[in-house]
């Protein structure tokens, strides 16, 4: 019998979108509980560590986005075929997460001029080293761990999506990375969700 899943996060993509896509990819039903900022103060004390996302599985709570992603990937057979491929996937996800932390430092800036200046600096001086290093890990496989998509591909694509949304040509110098990004987003189950999901600021 399939467990009952409830994913608790804010009304945004953020750290929960990879998790939503894992559910969508496998066609597994889940409650997508979106907490409005105005309600966060009352929800926060009910969650482990007082943070989101949290996954409830038959009422049991699991915190931390990466832990949730790995749990779902194990349950849904989306971890790749062998330990080396999984290690490569982990390395790539950690690398893009390092870059994402630098990206999010200015992504939510409201001053348009400052945001444009920081975006240019990020695209020209910060991102190239990280993205070129990630590109080196993309060999002849269709996806990071082989011929089948894994949680690592989805996590990578989700984090890149924010960068591409703000800096559309950021992946142009990295054809293998761009191809992988497009390949993930073209998977029918994911493309269907991406086309109809709520339009949110983050």
Catalytic residues: 9, 15, 104
How many other β-carbons are positioned within 10 Å of the β-carbon of residue 70?
16
CA–CA gap between residue 59 and residue 189 (Å, rounded): 27
Task: Please give the helix or strand (H or E) that residue 114 lies within, else none.
Answer: helix 112-121
Cα separation values, 20 from 16, 97, 150, 153, Å: 6, 18, 14, 14
Give which of 38, 97, 31, 23 is closest to 66, Cα–Cα.
97
Give which of 146, 21, 141, 157 is closest to 76, Cα–Cα.
21
DSSP 4: P
Task: Please give the helix or strand (H or E) that residue 36 lies within, else none.
Answer: none
- For 176, the token pair is 């293998």
Q: Are 176 and 138 in contact (CB under 8 A)?
A: yes
């Amino acid at each position: 019998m399939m467990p009952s899943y409830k994913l608790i996060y804010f009304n945004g993509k953020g750290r929960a979108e990879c998790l939503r896509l894992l559910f969508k990819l496998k066609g597994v039903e889940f409650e997508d509980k979106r907490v409005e900022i105005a309600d966060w103060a009352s929800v926060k004390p009910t969650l482990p560590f007082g943070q989101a996302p949290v996954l409830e599985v038959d009422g049991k709570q699991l915190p931390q986005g990466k832990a949730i992603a790995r749990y779902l990937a194990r349950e849904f057979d989306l971890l790749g075929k062998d330990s080396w491929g999984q290690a490569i996937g982990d390395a790539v996800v950690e690398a893009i997460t390092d870059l994402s932390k630098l990206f999010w430092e200015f992504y939510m800036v409201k001053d348009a001029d400052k945001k444009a200046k920081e975006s240019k600096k990020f695209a020209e001086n910060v991102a190239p080293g990280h993205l070129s290093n990630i590109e080196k890990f993309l060999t002849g496989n269709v996806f990071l761990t082989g011929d089948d998509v894994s949680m690592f591909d989805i996590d990578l694509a989700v984090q890149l999506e924010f960068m591409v949304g703000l800096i559309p040509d950021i992946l142009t110098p990295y054809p293998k990375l761009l191809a992988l990004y497009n390949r993930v987003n073209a998977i029918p189950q994911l493309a269907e969700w991406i086309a109809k999901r709520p339009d949110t600021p983050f």
